[in-house]
Amino acid sequence: MTDVFQFVFGKLWGKTRLSPGISPSKAVEGLVGGGLTAVAIGTRLHVITPFSPLQAVGMSLVIVMAGFLGGFVLSAMKRDLGVKDWGTMIEGHGGVLDCVDSVVFSAPLFFHLIRYWFT
């Protein structure tokens, strides 16, 4: 969800590039707008989770930042390796890892926060 909103906000209002050398299409406006939107949605979804609204805000913020870092770090790895995509499985979009790069950081973090903080 965060990736989609970051893309939309970045395309609509993105002027300030985060790191053109690593990921030329990522914009500060996309990160802020997409992140705030995802946090708002995550907070509203607290009713179907064991979190209080404040805990949902915290968890959403952590996941948004971890997701961004996951995508950013894997983009840096691709630049370093000199590849455009992680594979060719999905026509016109790259590999499966290109679709879930933000999950690489956020899912383990979410698991460990739930496992060790909420139990």
* pLDDT, position 24: 81
Q: What is the mean pLDDT of residues 99-103?
A: 81
**What is the amino acid identity at position 8?**
V
What is the token pair recorded at 108?
């383990």
Q: What percent of the chain has pLDDT over 70?
A: 87
The burial of 17, by beta-carbon neighbours within 10 Å (0-12 exposed, 13-18 middle, 19 or more buried), is given as middle
pTM: 0.84
pLDDT tens for 31-68 read: 999 999 999 999 999 999 989 999 999 999 999 999 99
Residue type, 61: L
